[in-house]
Amino acid sequence: MQRRVQARRPRTTRPLFAATAFTVAAIAMPGRALAQAPQAPAPPPGPPPVWTGSFGAGLAVTSGNTDTSNVNLAAKTIYDPRNPHLATFEALYLHGSSEGETTVNRTALTLRDDYSLTDRLSVFGRFGYLQDEFKGIDYLISPTAGVGYKVVNLERTKFMVDTGAGVVWEKDSVLGTVDTSGAVTAGENFRHQLTGTTLITHAATALWKTADFGDALYTVSAGLATTMTRRTQLKLEVLELYKTKPPIGKESQDVSFIMSVVYSF
Does any domain span residue 31? no
The strand pairing partners of 252, in sequence order, are none
Rounded to an integer, what distance in angstroms lies between the CA atom of residue 238 and that of residue 258?
A: 6
DSSP 102-157: EEEEEEEEEEEEEEESSSSEEEEEEEEEEEETTTTEEEEEEEEEEEEEEEEE-SSE
Domain count along the chain: 1
Assigned domain for 10 exists: no
**Rounded CA gap, 151 and 190, in Å?**
10
Q: Which domain holds residue 142?
A: 51-264
What is residue 61's predicted lDDT score, i.e. its pLDDT? 63
* 53, 121, 126, 243, 260 from 162: Cα distances, Å: 23, 10, 11, 21, 28
The set of residues, in sequence order, having a beta carbon less than 8 Å from that of 13 and lying 6+ positions away, is: none
Q: Is residue 247 part of a domain?
A: yes
Domain assignment present for residue 11? The answer is no
In a domain, residue 93? The reply is: yes
- CB 243, CB 251: distance < 8 Å: no
pLDDT of residue 65: 54
pLDDT of residue 102: 79
Asked if 93 and 72 touch (Cβ cutoff 8 Å), the reply is yes
Is residue 211 included in any domain, yes or no?
yes
Per-10-residue mean pLDDT for the chain, 265 residues long?
Answer: 46 45 45 52 74 90 65 95 94 88 90 96 98 94 98 96 98 93 98 96 98 96 96 94 91 89 94
Tell me if 136 is assigned to some domain.
yes
Contact status, residue 181 vs residue 212, Cβ threshold 8 Å: yes
CA atoms within 13 A on the CB side of 226: 2
Is residue 19 a part of any domain in this protein?
A: no
For residue 123, give the CATH number of its domain.
2.40.160.40
